[in-house]
Amino acid sequence: MAYDYVIKNTTMRIIERLYNNGDLDKATLAGLRGAVTITSPKAQKVWPVIMNYLPKEYLSKNGKPTTGEIAVYAAVRFYAIFQQGQDRFVYEVSGEQAEGENLFTALAALRKVEEIKKPLDHRVQALLATTNIDSVINSLTHLVEILKGKDKTKKIDYPQLAQNLYKFQMNYHCANEVRLAWGEQYFGLNNEGKQL
C-alpha cells in the first residue's frame, strides 16, 4: 500500500533530521520525550518538523490528530526516548542486510534473561490484548524504556513501527494483523528453530 512508503519515509526523514549527523536537535528531542501526545503543549517544539515532512493529506484539517500524525509522532517519540544520553545513532532499518531490528524482535532477546522474562511477557501480553491505540502507545513507551534500560546497543527500526501503528488504527482486522506480527516477532522461533 502507498501508506507503507509515506509513513515509513516520513518517519525516517524526521529522525534523520533530529539526529542531524550527530548534532542532535536536543530541544526538540526533549520536547518529544516530555509530551505523551502530539496535542500536548510540549509537543509544539516538534510540530514544525512533523508538519514540514508529513504530506498535507496526512495532516489534520480540524485540530484532531490524524492516524498518520499519531503514528509518526509516537514512533519519533520512541526514538527520542531511546536516543537520550547516547551519541551513537539508535535507529537503523531492519532486514537481512541491516543492523536494525523490529522493536519486538529486540524485546525477544531480553526474554533470555530469566529475571526479566516473566514481567516482560506480562507487559507484552497486556499490549497484545488491547485494540485501543492510546493504550498501545502507552505500553510501547514502557517497553522502549525497558529495552533502553537493559540494552542500549540496539538499533530499532522506528519507521517500521510507525507503519505498524498507522495500520493498527485502520480497522479491527488490521489491528489484529499488527498484533499477530508483533506476537510472532516476540514469541516466535529463533533462526535455529528453538523457542526463545
Per-residue pLDDT of 99-149, as tens digits, reads 889 999 999 999 988 899 999 999 999 999 999 999 999 999 999 999 999
Asked if residue 176 is part of any domain, the answer here is: yes
Mean pLDDT across 153-157: 94
Q: Tell me the mean pLDDT in the region 84-91.
A: 92
Angle at 148 between CA 143 and CA 150, to 5 degrees: 95
SS3 79: helix
Q: How far apart are the C-alpha atoms of 67 and 110, rounded to whole Å?
A: 30
What is the total count of domains within the chain? 1
Query: Which residues form the domain of 40?
Result: 2-187
Owner of C-alpha cell 509518526: 72
Query: The domain that contains 138 carries what CATH number?
Result: 1.10.520.40
**Looking at the predicted structure, is the pLDDT value of residue 65 above 90?**
yes
Task: Determine the Cα angle at 169 with ends 167 and 170, to 5°.
Answer: 70
pTM of the predicted model as reported, rounded to 2 decimal places: 0.92
User: C-alpha distances in angstroms, 14 versus 143, 157, 188?
Assistant: 22, 13, 31
pLDDT of amino acid 3: 55
Distance CA 63, CA 71 (A): 16
Q: Is 49 within the bounds of a domain?
A: yes
Residue 4: predicted pLDDT: 64
Biggest CA-to-CA distance, the chain: 51
Count Cα neighbours of 33 within 13 Å in the Cβ-side half-sphere: 16
